[in-house]
């Protein structure tokens, strides 16, 4: 007999990759990694991943230019401390996704999303 277990109302959605884009420099901002997301869990882990990969590991001097902490909505991380190279940033996107997923799993296991 295949019984289905009830799903708790507070069951959180598991990790999913969000759409990261590279925005070319304009007259106001330099090169940016941008995303628009409503899930604060995903926003949190992606902000952590961008900081860790781009700043802590690659020393790009990324600045969280747009977006309030981990609030839902549009976020932009601007390159301030290094040359604007969109190809270099594009190559980092898979590393950012991987780090975000690792952080999500760790936070979920530690019940930090509740």
Over residues 92-109, the pLDDT tens digits come to 999 999 999 999 999 999
- Percent above pLDDT 70 for the chain: 86
Question: Where is pLDDT greater, at 8 or 35?
Answer: 35
Q: Judge whether residue 10 has pLDDT over 50.
A: no
Spans of all domains in the chain: 21-109
On average, the pLDDT of the chain sits at 88
Q: Which residues of 51-89 are buried (b: 16+ CB within 10 A; e: fewer)?
A: bbbbeeeeebebbebebeebeeeebbbbbeeeeeeeebb
């Amino acid at each position: 007999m295949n019984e289905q277990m009830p799903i708790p109302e507070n069951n959180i959605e598991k990790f999913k990759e969000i759409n990261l884009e590279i925005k070319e420099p304009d007259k106001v901002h330099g090169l940016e990694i941008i995303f628009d997301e409503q899930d604060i869990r995903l926003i949190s882990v992606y902000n952590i991943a961008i900081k860790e990969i781009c700043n802590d590991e690659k020393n790009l001097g990324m600045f969280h230019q747009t977006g309030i902490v981990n609030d839902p909505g549009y976020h932009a991380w601007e390159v301030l401390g290094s040359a604007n190279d969109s190809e270099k940033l594009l190559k980092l996107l898979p590393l950012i996704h991987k780090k975000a997923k690792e952080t999500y799993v760790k936070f979920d296991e530690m019940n930090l999303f509740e």
